[in-house]
Amino acid sequence: MSERVFNFNPGPAALPLEVLQEIQRDLINYKGEGLSVMEMSHRSKAFEAIIKGAENLMKEIMGIPAGYKVLYLQGGATLQFAAVPLNLIGPGQHADYINTGSWAKKAIGEAKKLGKEVNVIATSEDVNYSRIPKDFKVTPDAAYLHITSNNTIAGTQFSKFPDTGKVTLVCDMSSDFNCRKIDVSKFGLIYAGAQKNMGPAGVTIVIIREDLMQKSPDNIPTMTSYKILGEKDSLYNTPPCFSIYVVKLVLEWIKKQGGLSKIEEINEKKAALLYNAIDATDFYKGTVEKDSRSIMNVTYRLPSEDLEKEFIAQGLKNGLLGLKGHRSVGGIRASIYNAVSLKAVESLVSFMKDFEKKNG
Ligand SMILES: Cc1ncc(COP(=O)(O)O)c(C=O)c1O
């Protein structure tokens, strides 16, 4: 393929072209340092400026209040499934979880594997995760409530975050991190693998309130201890330097777009365009209840699996990549993260209309 495709992959996913071009410009000789970011010491002045810059920009763009730390870690969101209970569920304590799909289930499974007491206060498993549960009560003495803000596979998203009162809110935000403006002060801890909205795979972003950071017990593995990793400013060992550098460039790109309010406005527009196209006909059927629809992962079905296969194949021929639904659920999924342009979504919608005309 000689041209770049419109990339609807669920993750690793599209990066802004401007960011890729800047990486290309600086790849061999980073800002006159005479070497690439991949080759420099993580203790060098140049890298220190990158990681500090990435922490400060994250705070600025998200409006993170004082008293929070931004960490750049390894192990993916999956390691956080274990790190969160290891750090935050003390002896005799339990944590509440909401089960909105397979990622939440994995987080629950990992906590249980560690012998922690988990209380699943709500689930939408009985309806194939086609909605976000609404009625639930947080246990007042829970160590925290864990939610997954966006179910990447089913295509559901919390439009509003639950009010947990005094209970700490912990959120896996992997697939909708920085897709909208949020009030960080409502959360004790947010974590997200970078490879959807924020950069390449290899770095996991953790935003943690400093009082929680101090809770880490001494007998857990060093690489899961928020206290140690936080006190060392994510530099206890060699961090994923290049991925952190790209995250910083993506943050600069978000700022240049007009910040998160502007990003949110564009994301809403893209999602509305696609959902309207789905709702306009019986040929396409959304798989999720309307008030739980994700603005990041749009899932839908065609009248038959054969037509879905054809849709994916024809899409690819038209430069539309990554439309296959997750292998566990099938169907179509268009992931329309921040770096997926309005033009990409317009192309998809126009392809959908054309495909229906020929096959409907
Ligand atoms: C919501 C959510 N949580 C967690 C994960 C796992 O992330 P990682 O591969 O970074 O461990 C994913 C991956 O797609 C995800 O979508």
Distance 336 CA to ligand 1 centre (A): 16
Q: Going by CA atoms, what residue is nearest to atom 16 of ligand 1?
A: 152
- Under the banding of pLDDT at 50, 70 and 90, the label for residue 360 is confident
Residue 41: what are its φ and ψ, rounded to 5°? -65, 140
CATH for 259-359 is: 3.90.1150.10
Burial environment of residue 120 by CB neighbours within 10 A (0 to 12, 13 to 18, 19 or more): middle
pLDDT tens-place string over residues 95-137: 999 999 999 999 999 999 999 999 999 999 999 999 999 989 9
Asked if residues 8 and 336 have their Cβ atoms less than 8 Å apart, the reply is yes
Q: How far is the CA of 175 from the centre of ligand 1 (A)?
A: 7
Q: Which pTM value belongs to this model? A: 0.98
Provide the CATH number for the domain formed by 18-256 in this structure. 3.40.640.10
196 flagged as catalytic? yes
The amino acid present at 26, given as its one-letter code, is: D
The residue behind tokens 């795979």 is 201
User: Residue 258: which residues within 8 A CB-CB, separation 6 or more?
Assistant: none
Q: Which of 103, 105, 227, 324 is catalytic?
A: 103
Q: Show the DSSP H helices in 63-187 as ranges.
A: 76-88, 102-113
Select from 103, 206, 329 the residue to mutate for testing ligand 1; criterion: most ligand atoms less than 8 Å from CB: 103
Distance CA 175, CA 299 (A): 14
Q: Is residue 283 within 8 Å of 301, Cβ to Cβ?
A: no
Residue listed under structure tokens 């960011």: 19
**How far is Cα 271 from Cα 232, in angstroms, rounded to an integer?**
40
253 in active site: no
* Residue of 172, 176, 248, 270 with catalytic role: 172
Which residue has its alpha carbon closest to ligand 1 atom 9?
76
pLDDT tens-digit map of 255-311: 999 999 999 999 999 999 999 999 999 999 999 999 999 999 999 999 999 999 999
Q: Where are the domains of the chain?
A: 18-256, 259-359
